[in-house]
Amino acid sequence: MMKKGKRFEWGYLLLIPGIGYILLFIIMSTYVMIMQSLGYYNYTGESGFSLQFWGEVFDQQFLDSLLYSLKIGIGSSMISIVICYPFVLILQKTKGKRILLSIMKTPMFIPALVGSFLIINIIDYHGIVNELLVFLRIIEEPLRLRNDKYGIGVLMIQVWKNVPFQMLIMSSAIESIRKDVVDAARNLGANIFSIIRHIILPLTLPSALIAVTLVFIGTFNDFAVSNTAGPLYPNSLSSLMLRNANVFGEWNLSACIGTMMMITTILLVSIYTLIAKRLEKLD
């Protein structure tokens, strides 16, 4: 028994690479960021506790950016999952599903910036979409999809980029539902809609939550796509943060924005989780 206890203690050493990494890069850097927002760790000038930056950070520009980022984050994660579900369900029944899936995965391997430019070419003022719509006389004037006020271009790019990612998660979730469970439902008289409603949706909900959350985190905090295809004002919190730090040298303000991004993310992820738990109970 004694021996067993001892070996167990040594075993903890194996955790050092993981825990050390978490401590050093995640907890430390988060700590530094939060402290910076409170006036510590200044690179130049004095360091010391101050609430001045928190007083300054909540201006109109910040609120506009927060709203914009929330819209992009919630919008793209939700639109993606809504598109993703039927896609994956249909794909399950399609011949050559593996090939189709791997083709659809390609956007995941294209860097966000490159993807952004690719899509911009399509939705630009004189891009294919607009030319086609005008040619078909559906619209008189080309639409302004790129750098438009509402960030529709950004949403389109994010959805394009994230649907495949969610499909990856969702198709493995749906595949992991045992076939005879679906058969049992059919056998008891369930049609395809009842099966989706009673079996597939509830069983894939946890995966869907992960898919939505991951996409939300990515798109809420996105920088590259918003900067290339997003509106000139307001822009994402990430750009605001970068501008404050790089252009104005306001590191403490940036830290405040960073902290707010983190808090918002945690808050929203918690809300998602709560909703999902409720939905699960509902069934």
Under 8 Å CB-to-CB from 34, ≥6 apart: which residues?
Answer: 255, 259
Report how far residue 157's alpha carbon sits from residue 75's, in angstroms, rounded to the nearest whole number: 12
Among residues 1, 136, 188, 232, the one that binds another protein under rule CB under 8 A? 188
Give the DSSP H or E segment for 169. helix 152-175
Nearest CB to another protein, comparing residues 145 and 200: 200
Report how far residue 278's alpha carbon sits from residue 253's, in angstroms, rounded to the nearest whole number: 38
Nearest CB to another protein, comparing residues 176 and 246: 176
Angle of helix 201-220 relative to helix 251-282, nearest 10 degrees, comes to: 170
Q: Determine if 93 is a binding residue for another protein (CB under 8 A).
A: no
Report how far residue 89's alpha carbon sits from residue 175's, in angstroms, rounded to the nearest whole number: 10
Among residues 106, 121, 191, 270, the one that binds another protein under rule CB under 8 A? 191
Q: Determine if 180 is a binding residue for another protein (CB under 8 A).
A: yes
Stretch that binds another protein, among 2-10, 81-89, 175-183, 245-253 (CB under 8 A): 175-183
Among residues 60, 136, 189, 282, the one that binds another protein under rule CB under 8 A? 189
Q: Determine if 202 is a binding residue for another protein (CB under 8 A).
A: yes
Q: Determine if 203 is a binding residue for another protein (CB under 8 A).
A: yes
- Residue 138, judged by CB atoms within 10 A of its CB (0-12, 13-18, 19+), counts as exposed
Among residues 19, 23, 67, 181, the one that binds another protein under rule CB under 8 A? 181
Report how far residue 282's alpha carbon sits from residue 197's, in angstroms, rounded to the nearest whole number: 12
Nearest CB to another protein, comparing residues 24 and 181: 181
To the nearest whole angstrom, how small is the minimum distance from the Cβ of residue 208 to another protein? 13
Q: Determine if 190 is a binding residue for another protein (CB under 8 A).
A: yes
Give the tokens for residue 69. 């980022």
Report how far residue 143's alpha carbon sits from residue 7's, in angstroms, rounded to the nearest whole number: 68
Q: Determine if 194 is a binding residue for another protein (CB under 8 A).
A: yes
Q: Determine if 184 is a binding residue for another protein (CB under 8 A).
A: yes
Residues that bind another protein (CB under 8 A): 178, 180-181, 183-191, 194, 198-199, 202-203, 280, 283
